[in-house]
Structure 1
Amino acid sequence: METSNFKEEFERMLMSEIIPLKRGETNSPEGGELFSKLHDLVAKNVPSKLYRYRNCQEYNLDSFRDDEVYAGNPRNFNDPFDSLVCYKKEEILKNYEEALNKNWFLYMLSKINSLVEEEMRKQYPDDPIIDEVVKKMQCFNVWKGEGDEVVNQRLREAYYEGTTYGDKGIYSDKINEYLEFIGDLLDQSVESVKESCKIACFTERKDNMLMWSHYADRHSGFVLEYDIKQVVFPTSDTQPSSHPAILFPVIYSDKRLDATHIGKSLMDDFLISLKGENNSSIVLPDIFIYLKVFLNKAKCWGYENEWRLICPDSYENESVKVIMKPTAIYYGSNISSADKAKLSLLAKEKNITEYQMAVEYYNSEYKVNVL
């Protein structure tokens, strides 16, 4: 399959499906089936070689020496939008505020009922008719959803006159404080997604001038070539990755991933639990939401032709190490003789091919070439 067609098919398969994880399930049969299809599609179409641009900092030389690829925290990437969903906070909080108002209303009526009952039992401690009176109290009936509907409606209106948008009556401050807390919690949740996985970035191209400038210190660094298919999709005679990892192409889009529906679903589930009812049957509205978050980037980054090695990991670690031996090294056109000598010594020890990138004076194209 042609690269463009393959990536379009991959995007369609991943982004068009929303598969929830249900309560009591450790995995989803539908999700497992889709993941297998995505995995097989990628395994058939992954490029034979992928590349990583590096500068000549000591830690990159050490990683080259030890055949280590470090997957890092997206929080430290050079794009502030990387792995960052958008969500309509006001839309989520508006629904939440309406539910809070209703809960406050019910809570207020229950407290009124309790206080009235307490006073009546103090005044008439031995009167057996009190139980019957309590059952028929209008506030009690409103709380239970019974009684005269006209009176019920009047009570509701009296309460809601002070709780519509603008002036929310005596509960305004508390509700606003709680909404602010929930808003902060939503923001923290969005940021915390970045901590749940570590990512190593690869590209299909070794001759991209912008990447040589951005990631290889203005052409003074180097590029490592990997036969990554043999690591991530090992056959019976090849070694698998040293760390659980999945490899997928990045999806470039003009629109950020909207996770409003995820926020609404999680808030709805929380409100159900506040009422003392059983939680909804859905634990996670979309089991692929994390994968979608990590693979979606702005279209302006499309020139990178990026692939991502995603490593599930604990929140505490800043990076994880994957053992992966390179198959070739490419020296930047501006690399220093000292750095090249260090790298060349390591390359010869590993018995891998060495190449030199150069700017050719007689070539009319803006392109670095392999000598």
Structure 2
Amino acid sequence: MSIRTFKFRFGTERDFDALHENYIWFADFTSLNDPFEGYARFNTDGISHELRMNFLKKYFPDFPLKESTPEAEVNRYHRENYENKEISFSQYVDSWAKDKFEELQKLYRNKYFVFSQSKARDNDAIPSPLNNLQMWAHYANGFKGYCIEFDFNRLKESIQSSNSVMLNTSPVKYPEDRSLPTVNLKSFMQSCLKGDTEAFIEILKAFNVKERNWIIENEVRFTSLNRGKHYYDPSSIRAIYIAEKMPSLARESVISIIESKRSNIKIFDVRIGTDEYKLGFSPANLTG
């Protein structure tokens, strides 16, 4: 079964251009609306003295002295300042590791760009978050915009083939407690010494966890090395949902754009319930 994802749109001029020209926009991480994006806390359990020493030897500055080496300087530094004060030395090295993590995290934030979608939470014809009032209010211009439904796998394949890029896929998690995502500092330090991908995984943790109140989004992300426009095949679109309060000229523009694609894209009107707090979905009347 194909995965259904949804992208709510305000209905701006740029939104119409993207819909007409078949592209989506990959944005900077700094432009995302969660102020805690990328924040994390650190778990220092299980880090041995040997691991701390080896980590510090790798990243300690190499003084411009022919008779000195990073390893010798670390041993001297430890002997002169922290011998018999292991807790203080642990804090010192751990702070180096945290700084290194934040340095790599900044590189990740500047190197990768993101496109966010909302994944269908269930198999209903009108699933959450498509039927969520808050999503329409926050991301569709107060119920004056529209929503695009994509075939997730087809969209990913289409973007990769049309733009010669590789996309990473990252579902966002929403833990039940209010704790920030936890980075295992031991795994991170070991990964830095080995030069493997575990450090990258630890960084991803900080970018793919959000506070529980965001759960209505059920977000899944594409990340790319390229910023800006990424083109796709219009067959990736399954349906368009047009909010009742969208101005008539804007509604006509959306319908005209969709009909020009000559793809089997369904068009629905979304109306506000008259008896309860609920949205109604029905095939759009394209003649009236």
Q: TM-score range by the shorter chain?
A: 0.5 to 0.7
Task: Name which of 240, 244, 261 aligns with 2:166.
Answer: 244
Change (3 A) 1:246 1:183: closer
Corresponding residue of 1:67: 22
Whether the 8 Å CA contact 1:53–1:221 is kept in 2: the answer is: yes
Query: How much has 1:324 moved relative to structure 2?
Result: 4.0
Task: Give the 5 Å matches for 1:107-118.
Answer: none
Q: Distance in 1 between matches of 2:78 and 2:29?
A: 50
Residue by residue over 1:78-136, the C-alpha shift from the partner in whole angstroms, topping out at 9 and shown as x without a partner, is 012234433369x99x957x968xx99xx99x78xxxxxxxxxxxxxxxxxxxxxxxxx
What letter is aligned with 1:359?
I
Name the counterpart of 1:350. Answer: 261
Picking from 204, 227, 251, the partner of 2:151 is: 227
Q: Which of residues 229, 232, 256 is equivalent to 1:323?
A: 232
Is 1:302 matched with 2:226? Answer: no
- Distance verdict in 2 for CA 1:73–1:162, change over 3 Å: same
Candidates 333, 336, 339, aligned match of 2:247: 336
Q: Which residue of 2 aligns with 1:140?
A: none
Corresponding residue for 1:122? none
Aligned residues: percent identity?
17
Match of 1:38 in 2: none
Q: CA deviation digits over 1:198-217, x for unaligned, max 9? A: 22112123222111111111
**Alpha-carbon deviation of 1:318?**
3.7
Match of 1:212 in 2: 136
Question: Deviations 1:302-356 (Å, cap 9, x if unpaired)?
Answer: 1112222232x1xxx5435141422321111221122212212212212432211
Determine the structure 1 residue equivalent to 2:116: 201
2:243 aligned partner, one-letter code: G
Is the CA contact 2:11–2:250 (under 8 Å) kept in the aligned structure 1?
yes
Q: Deviation per CA, 1:185-234: give whole Å up to 9, x if none.
A: 65343333223322211212322211111111111111011122233368
Q: CA 1:318–1:233 in 2, change beyond 3 Å: closer, same or farther?
A: closer
Q: Report deviation, 1:257.
A: 3.4
Query: Structure 2 vs 1, CA of residues 156 and 249 (structure 1 numbering), >3 Å: closer, same or farther?
Result: closer
Residues 350 and 160 from structure 1, CA distance in 2 versus in 1: closer, same or farther, beyond 3 angstroms?
A: closer
- The 8 Å contact of residues 72 and 320 in structure 1, kept in 2 or not, is answered as no
Distance across 2 between alignment mates of 1:184 and 1:347 = 49
Q: CA deviation at 1:56?
A: 1.4
2:210 aligned counterpart, secondary structure: strand
Distance, in Å, in 2 between the alignment partners of 1:158 and 1:323 is: 60
Note the alpha carbon deviations across 1:35-83, whole angstroms, 9 max, x for none. Answer: xxxxxxxxxx652x22100111111110000111122222211012234
Residues of 2 paired with 1:333 and 1:293: CA distance? 38
Q: Is the 8 A contact 2:143 2:245 kept in 1?
A: yes
Amino acid at match of 1:85: A
Amino acid at match of 1:57: T
Please state whether the residue corresponding to 2:143 is helix, strand or coil: coil
Which one has the bigger strand percentage?
2
Structure 2: unaligned runs, 5 residues or longer: 87-91, 121-128, 283-288
C-alpha distance 181-354 of structure 1, shift in aligned 2 (>3 A): same
Tell me whether 78-87 or 350-359 shows the greater mean CA deviation: 78-87
TM score, norm. by length of structure 1: 0.53
User: Which position in structure 2 is the counterpart of 1:78?
Assistant: 33
Write the deviation string for residues 129-151 of structure 1: whole angstroms up to 9, x where unpaired: xxxxxxxxxxxxxx9xxxxxxxx
The structure with the greater share of residues assigned to helix is: 1
Within 5 A, what are the aligned runs for 1:36-75? Answer: 47=3, 49-75=4-30
Is contact 1:247-1:310 (8 Å) kept? yes
Q: Contact 1:84 / 1:194 at 8 angstroms: preserved in 2?
A: no
Say if 1:230 and 1:240, in contact at 8 Å, map to a contact too: no
| 3-state SS of 1:251 partner | coil
